[in-house]
Amino acid sequence: MNAKHTVLVTGGAGYIGSHTCCQLLNAGYNVVIIDNFSNSSPDVLDAIMAISGKRPALVEADLRDADAVRVCFDQYPIDAVIHFAALKAVGESTAKPVEYYEHNLLCTTTLVKGMRGRGVKRLVYSSSATVYGMDNPAPFREDMPISAINPYGWTKVMTERMLTDLSASDPEWSITLLRYFNPLGAHPSGLIGDDPNGIPANLMPYVNKVAAGILPELPVFGDDYPTPDGTCIRDYIHVMDLAEGHLAALDYIYTHNGVEAVNLGTGVGYSVFDVVRAYERVSGRTIPYRVASRRPNNADAPKAYADPAKAARVFNWKTKRGLDDMCRDSWTFAKTRLIKSDA
Ligand SMILES: NC(=O)c1ccc[n+]([C@@H]2O[C@H](COP(=O)([O-])OP(=O)(O)OC[C@H]3O[C@@H](n4cnc5c(N)ncnc54)[C@H](O)[C@@H]3O)[C@@H](O)[C@H]2O)c1
């Protein structure tokens, strides 16, 4: 693709969005970010500039603001959208279900109505492996039934349904539903990475803060699962691989109509202790941990990993980086951004 294409990236200052923006800019796309910085910082734009040599355009606004979305489409010649903006903390979604349904569904409906108003019908949507629920055996394939076990997951299931119905109502739409597995790692420069506001809900930002001396120990939620070391097994994917997957999905929607759900994962599962050991090995730091009880409501499936065959077939994409790369790049990010400023 080339500079004729202008892509709107919602939530482009966030963890996955910022890595994707760098790769889009490197590939010659024009990039417009819409973000309200509710879980990121405007400094990320400087980091994207430092990495790619180009500054994306920024619309600082809430995606639920229909007028702001309309102005954004009026101002820029957008011809495709990658939609990351959402609330994503599973535990918080259980405590505040109404806010999660309202926020995540309203973001997408407002966006899609804005797109429709300007005849923009290419969309890459951030779904999640959480839509495989608890009843499917790993490896997860895209043709398995989907469901959820928490409000966050249901917002992904419902949005997939809505976008599938949209595509059925108007065959000019071209939509990919990307079911991410568990992103880890950072840009190798250490300038961008996973740095959520507040106490991290995901494994690696937590490990980073323990390694940086900001948090005392890592809670491990359960070591009595039916897995070799008792901790849950997940399909960890390097965020740079994930970002490349978005470029492959974008190539696809420029040439195909309809809707496709596609897993972005490696097909390989690692336990929590595998990740901690790999991190300790590449960083030279010890990560103190404390085994806590399982999270409530059977929140964690013992094993979740992808069958990545469809992405290879449809997008001609597969992952290139391994667990050590994910841990090394996360550690570089911790040294660059966390230790200097906070520790
Ligand atoms: N990180 C993961 O483990 C993971 C796994 C599967 C799926 N996902 C999905 O991928 C997407 C991106 O995840 P991430 O980890 O980069 O999250 P993130 O929180 O780092 O990024 C989301 C960005 O969206 C912005 N945002 C949120 N609500 C907004 C609103 N109403 N208006 C404008 N901007 C808003 C935030 O400020 C942030 O910059 C989300 O949809 C998430 O559900 C993430």
Neighbouring-strand partners of residue 57? 32
Contacts of 28 (CB under 8 A, 6+ apart): 1, 2, 3
- Stated pTM of the model: 0.96
* Cβ burial, residue 208 (10 Å; 0-12/13-18/19+): buried
Q: Which of 38, 105, 163, 199 to mutate to test the pocket of ligand 1 (most atoms within 8 A of CB)?
A: 38
Active-site hit among 76, 152, 225, 289: 152
Binding-site residues, ligand 1, Cβ < 6 A: 11, 13-17, 34-40, 62-64, 84-86, 88, 107, 126, 128, 180, 182-183, 202
Quote the CA–CA distance of 48 and 45 in Å, as a whole number: 5
Report the atom number in ligand 1 closest to the C-alpha of 83. Answer: 41
152 is catalytic: yes
pLDDT tens digits for range 106-162:
999 999 999 999 999 999 999 999 999 999 999 999 999 999 999 999 999 999 999
Chain centroid, CA 184 distance in Å:
10
Q: Whose CA is nearest to atom 6 of ligand 1?
A: 128
* CA of residue 14 to ligand 1 center, whole Å: 6
pLDDT tens digits for range 50-77:
999 999 999 999 999 999 999 999 999 9
Determine how many CB atoms are found less than 10 A away from the CB of residue 103: 20
Q: Whose CA is nearest to atom 15 of ligand 1?
A: 15
Question: What letter does residue 53 receive in the DSSP assignment?
Answer: S
Contacts of 65 (CB under 8 A, 6+ apart): 110
Quote the CA–CA distance of 200 and 89 in Å, as a whole number: 9
Determine how many CB atoms are found less than 10 A away from the CB of residue 77: 12
CB-facing half-sphere around the CA of 203: CA atoms within 13 A: 25
Chain centroid, CA 297 distance in Å:
24
- Going edge to edge, which strands form the sheet with 303-304? 270-271, 233-234, 303-304
pLDDT tens digits for range 189-237:
999 999 877 788 889 999 999 999 999 999 999 999 999 999 999 999 9
Report the atom number in ligand 1 closest to the C-alpha of 88. Answer: 43
Q: Which of 8, 10, 16 to mutate to test the pocket of ligand 1 (most atoms within 8 A of CB)?
A: 16
Whether the link from the prior residue into 219 is cis, omega within 30° of 0, is no
pLDDT tens digits for range 86-99:
999 888 999 999 99
So where are the chain's domains?
6-184+236-265+308-321, 203-233+268-306+325-342
* CA of residue 87 to ligand 1 center, whole Å: 6
Give me the CATH topology for the region 6-184+236-265+308-321.
Rossmann fold (3.40.50)
| CA proximity to 333, closest of 200, 215, 181, 184 | 184
Give me the CATH topology for the region 203-233+268-306+325-342.
UDP-galactose 4-epimerase; domain 1 (3.90.25)
* CA of residue 145 to ligand 1 center, whole Å: 25
* CA of residue 213 to ligand 1 center, whole Å: 26
